[in-house]
Structure 1
Amino acid sequence: MFRIPLITLCCCLAALATQAQSSVPAQLAARIPALMQRDRIPGLTIAYIENGRPVWTQHFGVANNSNGAHITDSSRFEAASLTKVVTAYMALLMAGSHQLDLDKPLSEYLGNTYDVGNDPRLAGVTARRTLTHTAGFPNWRSDSLLRFLFTPGEKFQYSGEGFVMLAKVMEKLTGKKYAELAKDSVFIPLGMHHSSMTFDSTLRALHVPRHNWLGNTAYSADYPNQNAAASLRTTAADYAIFLSALMAGNRLDPELHREMFTPHAYPDMEKMPGVAWGLGVGLDSSATGRYAWHWGDQGDSRALFVIDPAKRNGIVYFTNSANGLSPAADILAIAPGGRQDGVVKWVAYGKFDGQAEAVTRSIHQLGGEKAIQQHVAARKQKIGEDQMNMIGYELLRNKRYADAIAVFKQNAADYPASANVWDSLAEGYMENGDKAQAIANYEKTLRMKPDNPNAVEMLKKLRDK
């Protein structure tokens, strides 16, 4: 019998392992351009982490579709809500050094009632509940007063407001502005040389502008304020360094590191039983493992990361496009490996639908009502709710009110159980000056979703006129 020498066998196995590892970047590099073309994504930058180390970064497409500017290693993309994970890491660093107690009311640190007023439920808002999105706040307030949607700890409600409040506490405890604290505690120690929590006007050319769902350049997010939930500008390479540190528990108390990746809250056990929230990160449990993840959605700029903390593998990508989440399932099928069904379902609202492009062209040629009638008569399936909403809001921004209303009305007819479609229709009528229809549709929204702060605020404004 022919026998392969042991040393030869080991070399062959090592070569196969190396080939398998290198095939992940090769597969991504081969697949991504076609996905971008399919989903009308002008630019994408991506990094792959393997065995705890960033091993591959690549840029695809352009930074700016209007002038063809290339993406470089220094091009800064909006991280959007991936900012929250950096904020969580900062909070856990402070908790590990006993500067911050995760279970102490944040109001006690601030010494005031923040923007909540005299609501006694404020005593239940802690850093832990903020990080797990159980503080009871809406995602964003609709006016200067921050109102509770429920008693803290009762359930999950994704909220950027909680992270902003937590950052105020961290500022008070350290005497540093949030952006400065992020730089000193995260960016400099980790060597993240192209990351900032604020827009740097001296590096304006490096900041990648947003693009709408049709691929047209929208605008640069050059707002100057810092935001602990959303204002990070970074590169895929920098964020991969951060994720590597996160998986390794770099400078984190071991118990807090374990808690970070432990389920604390469940957004929807019925529809997404595998999805939970740890301390600042989403979790997705499946037969192939437990993954940590977060998505970023700044409207016309979207991003995603998924990591496997046990194997210390992962992927992160940023786009300059409203369609940036559309290729998520295709990319995750290649890396980090395994199945992340919960993540795919969570970001499915961002899927690009080619029908939408045809409908938009038709609207510009025929007008909203006629174009929608023709579309409905010929279609084989409905356009997704979120995609239709994007069409409507694009028209609304361009002051094509009648066309926008036609789109919103069809979306409401297609998805009548969604409170959001009626909210959008109400806004269309409001912008068109039809006060009675705006009130009627906001009232319908509120009956369907009583905790909708936007509907409450809009009704108040409309009735006070």
Structure 2
Amino acid sequence: MTTNRRTFLAGTLSSVLRAEDLSLTETLKQGMERAKVPGAAVAVFRRGKAVEKVCSGLRKSGEPDIVVPITLFEAASLSKPVFATSVMKLWSRKGINLDQPLMEYLGGPYVHIQEPWNPRSAQDTLSDPRAVKLTPRLVLSHRTGLPNWAYGSKLAFRREPGVAWGYSGEGFVILQQVIENITGLGLEAFVRREVLDPLKLTQSRWSWDAAVSGNVASGHSEKGLVKERIGQAGPNAAASLMTNLDEYSRFLEAALAERSELLPPEAQLEMLKPASTADEGLGIRWGLGWGLVQESGRTFVFHWGSNEGYRNFFLLSSKERDGFLMFSNSDHGMKLVPALCESILGVRPRFLSWGYL
């Protein structure tokens, strides 16, 4: 798809363009120019609905196609809330026990792929006896004691499972294998059954598909170099979702709705209940798949995504469900977030200083 306008404004807008709409558009464009972000897409949420969508910039530096609400981005770790929601739907039907050891579901040792983005990756077996302590709840609340990624090495524990918060994509991949064993479905088919199909998210997918290559935003490094796609070992529950502003907005609307048609009330409540503390000083907790933070007397639900060449983020107040979703095709993308918080929410959250962001 080729679009001729540099900036595309879509969504539920009033017939008269308001000053804050112009301000948000200019805030985004100016931030992108300062941070050297080629392209970005932002959805504004009010009372749980995406009421404005503002897109600016290019899908790929040096080429004419611009970012629009249906442009696909690598969601990176924004994959995790979608997978977690799928797991919790299964839990609501008593299809999985959140506190049963993962190794019991696997029926044997876990085979670890050392480089998830390398189709020819080496493998190893997680033989540490502490692996029997791992459960779905510990994975979804990031208390496995495992690293984020082993980065080409054997998988090893950094701490005792269940003791403290520690962000881990590796844990999500173990849970992915458990889900595949329980359901007999691959990751793509499982999440499509639980989330994507019910919400009619037809463009979102967990594996690279050449059929959509003409509508994908290319990632860009800190130096502005285009990221070359190298493939992956397979669909990855923690990080391989490809989606767009339109479809991920619909997911957030459904998953966080006051009366969700996607999630049973008990599943939504369980997901949004603090299960671990990520940073006491900054007021950051973790539910099951969602980050939770106290800011200015309000609780916000948040998550970020960081794959090479992409930075993504969402922040919504849990009560009013006001906030925003952002996708960007640059390693500099998180530099846009403070100004977006001020423009959309009227605050500059102190937790943005957190090292993980």
1:301 lines up with 2:310 in the alignment: yes
Other-structure match for 1:27 = 23
Other-structure match for 1:255 = 266
1:64 lines up with 2:60 in the alignment: yes
Other-structure match for 2:36 = 40
Offset of 1:214 from its aligned partner?
2.9
1:225 lines up with 2:239 in the alignment: no
The structure with the greater share of residues assigned to strand is 2
**Runs of 5+ consecutive residues of structure 1 not aligned to the other structure:** 1-17, 350-465
Distance 1:164 1:22, change over 3 A: farther
**Percent pairwise identity:** 31
Distance 1:191 1:27, change over 3 A: farther
Distance 1:185 1:23, change over 3 A: farther
Residue 155 of structure 1 aligns to a residue whose secondary structure is coil
Residue 87 of structure 2 aligns to a residue whose secondary structure is helix
User: C-alpha deviations, 1:237-259, integer Å up to 9, x for none?
Assistant: 11111011111143323233122
Residue 334 of structure 2 aligns to a residue whose secondary structure is coil
RMSD: 2.2
**Runs of 5+ consecutive residues of structure 2 not aligned to the other structure:** 1-13, 112-124
Distance 1:144 1:347, change over 3 A: closer
CA distance in 1, matches of 2:141, 2:44: 27
CA distance in 1, matches of 2:301, 2:175: 22
1:288–1:338 CA contact under 8 A, matched in 2: no
TM, length-normalised to structure 2: 0.86
Q: Residue type of the partner of 1:300? A: G
1:208 lines up with 2:237 in the alignment: no
1:66–1:216 CA contact under 8 A, matched in 2: no
Distance 1:175 1:22, change over 3 A: farther
2:353 to 334, 345, 357: 345
1:198 to 186, 207, 221: 207
The structure with the greater share of residues assigned to helix is 1
TM, length-normalised to structure 1: 0.67
Q: Residue type of the partner of 1:89? A: T
Other-structure match for 1:55 = 51
Other-structure match for 2:80 = 84
CA distance in 2, matches of 1:117, 1:166: 14
Report 1:288-367 matches (<5 A): 288-338=297-347, 340-342=349-351, 344-346=352-354
Offset of 1:301 from its aligned partner?
1.0
Report 1:120-159 matches (<5 A): 120-143=129-152, 145-159=154-168
Offset of 1:144 from its aligned partner?
6.0
Residue 63 of structure 1 aligns to a residue whose secondary structure is coil
Offset of 1:29 from its aligned partner?
1.2
Relative contact order (alpha carbons < 8 A, sep ≥ 6): 1 or 2 greater? 2
2:38–2:60 CA contact under 8 A, matched in 1: yes
Other-structure match for 1:265 = 276
Offset of 1:105 from its aligned partner?
0.6
Q: Residue type of the partner of 1:56? A: E
Offset of 1:209 from its aligned partner?
1.0
Offset of 1:317 from its aligned partner?
0.8
1:174 to 164, 174, 183: 183
Other-structure match for 2:285 = 276
Offset of 1:287 from its aligned partner?
2.7
Offset of 1:60 from its aligned partner?
0.2
